[in-house]
Amino acid sequence: MTTKMVSGSQEGIVKAVRSELWKYGRKIIESGLVVGPGGNISARAGNVMYISPSGYAFDDVEPEDYVGVDISSGDLVDVNENKKPSSEVLMHLACYRARQDVGAVVHIHPAYGIAVASTIGRLEAMFPDFAAYVGKVGMLGYVVPSSAELAEAVERKIVDYNAILMSNHGAVTVGANLKEAFYRAVILEEGAKIFVLSKILGEPRVFSEEDVEEIRNLGAEKYRTQLLKQSRQA
């Protein structure tokens, strides 16, 4: 997304970012990753982060309702009709400040992810997509939502992980763009669901470090080719 943005005008870039946010907000609702007005998402447009407005469900906002916040200063720079940024604005800013490669942040309240984070406190890869796209999951104990303390805790973790599970709260995923951050969120929740189901049936076999490395070393493209080959042989 960032590369595309350089060539267009700032206005066009912002319009594109707002429309992507609107699209992925709806996808998050459709995927059941939040209920009601829970969760928030953001995307980077140069030095500005566009974030969902506070107090609205994703299917209750229009593209222009996403609030522009200067990443360095935290000042509101592009606001429609007195909308306020999500209460987790500090947590989102922390992700962009910690990593230049982060182009989007997704924060959700997924049922299985919260259950695993609040009981077992760890989630490992059990299937190839998880190993390839999510990898290791950072775990955080309970910290009061919307607090500066939570933003600091996320900032420390996000340096090493693309996905974080927070006890008694939810998950944060980051990506180069919204598509990547969203896929990570979906696969993370699928992983938590599979882990919970496996726990009901017995002791789950999770991937070893070697299993994960092997899949990651295949590279995304190689990995897809391999899967296609396998399905043709089957």
3-state DSSP call for residue 205? coil
- DSSP characters over 112-159: HHHHHHTTT------SHHIIIII-S-EEE----TT-HHHHHHHHHHHT
Please state the closest distance from residue 145 (CB atom) to Zn ion, in A: 5
Please state the closest distance from residue 167 (CB atom) to Zn ion, in A: 12
Binders of Zn ion among 114-133, rule CB under 5 A?
none
Q: Is 108 or 215 the residue whose CB approaches Zn ion more closely?
A: 108
| Spatial contact of 190 and 108, defined as CB atoms under 8 Å apart | no
- The residues, any chain, with a CB within 8 Å of residue 59's CB and separated by 6 or more, are 25, 26, 29
Q: Interface mask (CB under 5 A) for Zn ion, residues 148-177, using x and -?
A: ----------------------x-------
Please state the closest distance from residue 200 (CB atom) to Zn ion, in A: 27
Residues that bind Zn ion (rule: CB under 5 A) add up to a total of 1
How are beta strands 138-140 and 163-166 bridged, if at all?
A: parallel
- DSSP characters over 10-62: HHHHHHHHHHHHHHHHHHHHHTTS--TT--EEEEEETTEEEEPBTT--GGG--
| Spatial contact of 55 and 84, defined as CB atoms under 8 Å apart | yes
Kindly name the residue from 20, 30, 81, 88 that is annotated as catalytic.
88
Spacing of C-alpha 180 from chain mean position: 8
Q: Is 138 or 170 the residue whose CB approaches Zn ion more closely?
A: 170
Please state the closest distance from residue 5 (CB atom) to Zn ion, in A: 28
Q: Is 13 or 150 the residue whose CB approaches Zn ion more closely?
A: 150
Q: Is 113 or 170 the residue whose CB approaches Zn ion more closely?
A: 170
Q: Is 85 or 170 the residue whose CB approaches Zn ion more closely?
A: 170
Phi, psi of 37 (to 5 degrees): -85, 15
| Catalytic site includes residue 88 | yes
Please state the closest distance from residue 34 (CB atom) to Zn ion, in A: 9
Which residues here bind Zn ion, judged by CB under 5 A?
170
Active-site amino acid positions? 88
